[in-house]
Structure 1
Amino acid sequence: MSSTVVPLVIAFLGIVGTLVSALMTQRLAEKAKAQELDHSARQRSEERQYETQRASAEAVRTCYVRLNTASLDYQSELNHFWHALRAGHVTDGMRSRLDDARREQRARYSEAQMRVPDDVLMVVDRVHRRLNRIYGVLKRLDGGIPSRLEDDESLDEAHHQIVGLWEQLTEMRRTMRRSIGVVSDGL
């Protein structure tokens, strides 16, 4: 090689090295930026997922509170109605309150059917059915309609059913609390 070619080769390699270095730096920066964007996207996705889960859990908790309240109110109205029926002092206002309590509990039960896990729904369904069974008995007794069941539909049997409902309401509340992670054996 001649003395003029060697400096040209060295200059060429220097230029190529500089260009390659710039390209490598740019590629590394692009790769770092892509990783940063990917990390941010993953983080946003995890945050959205967390918020969705949190909102869902809050919706279930709210559903439980409303259902529990409506069921207790319905049971209370059934008990008041039973006492009035026994005393022979049922009023239209009492009938109306009982029907309102029944509608509210039915609305909360319908919401629960779409929102709560199956194991909780089984317990809720038993309470709902029993509330409505007692309602039917009391309404038939109030209207003087003969029993449509083989069972004895008397005031005493209705009272026994109302009192027995407390155990089912307690079981429902325990199951709902367990479902949302509020576990207490003392309840």
Structure 2
Amino acid sequence: MSGAMLSVIIAVVGVGGTLASAVVTQVLAHRAELRRLKEERGIRLAEQQATADRHKIDQLQNCYVQLNAHDRHYRDVMLAFAYTLKSGSVEAETVEVNDARRAQRDTRAEAQLVASDEVLKLESRVNDRLTTAYRYLMKAAVESDSPARRARLNQVIDLLDSIIPQQGHIRELMRFEVGTTKTLPDWYSPEEAPATHNTQP
């Protein structure tokens, strides 16, 4: 083989190697870019999911704050009204009780779309007792003072007092669900919740 031919072969191999190197470099760069874009997309999706999760938690927390506050306010207003009637006051009015009832009902309607099944189950027991207490209280409000009326008011007071422990259980479950606490307390036991109250006065 002549020197000229060898030079041509070497030149062809050199050019081929250079071209192949450029192609390989381009392929590797393209793969690296695809990997980078995939990683960025994964990060974006994770951030979007985290934002959506945070929004859900915020919505749930706001719902639970309102539900807890309105249940307690409704109970407290009825209790104060029952004691006022029991003391024989003729100036007691049902306006505040009815306002508290409306606010609690509206909050429950929102909670039924947002709250967990477990919270709704426990809160429904409390609501059942609040509803029963309201019914007893409104009957007592239009009755004249008598031993029967005082007995009905005592029944309302006992019923409203019996709600307090269950409200504590619901509050702890709410705190757990929104991440305020990492575990439920040892004393948490929804099975100890009061049963549905359907007794007629």
- Aligned: 1:64 with 2:64: yes
| Alpha-carbon distance in structure 2 between the residues aligned to 1:27 and 1:179 | 49
Of 36-45 and 51-60, more deviation after overlay is shown by 51-60
TM-score of the pair, normalised by structure 1: 0.86
- Please report how far the alpha carbon of residue 2 of structure 1 lies from its aligned counterpart in structure 2 after TM superposition: 3.8
Structure 1 ranges of 4+ moved more than 6 A: none
Deviation per residue, 1:11-48 (Å, 9 max, x gap): 11111111111111111111111101100110111111
Look up the match of 2:126.
127
Look up the match of 2:172.
174
Deviation per residue, 1:51-77 (Å, 9 max, x gap): 211221122122111111111110110
TM-score of the pair, normalised by structure 2: 0.80
Look up the match of 1:19.
19
- Aligned: 1:55 with 2:75: no
Distance 1:68 1:130, change over 3 A: same
Aligned length: 179
Look up the match of 2:147.
none
| Alpha-carbon distance in structure 2 between the residues aligned to 1:173 and 1:96 | 28
Q: Secondary structure at the match of 2:89?
A: coil
Identity %: 31
Cα RMSD (Å) of the superposition?
2.2
Query: What are the equivalent positions in structure 2 for 1:60-99 lying under 5 Å apart?
Result: 60-89=60-89, 91=91, 94-99=93-98
| Alpha-carbon distance in structure 1 between the residues aligned to 2:90 and 2:77 | 12
The letter of the residue matching 1:156 is N
- Aligned: 1:29 with 2:29: yes
Structure 1 residue runs of 5 or longer lacking an equivalent are 145-152
Query: What are the equivalent positions in structure 2 for 1:135-174 lying under 5 Å apart?
Result: 135-144=134-143, 154-174=152-172
- Please report how far the alpha carbon of residue 175 of structure 1 lies from its aligned counterpart in structure 2 after TM superposition: 2.3
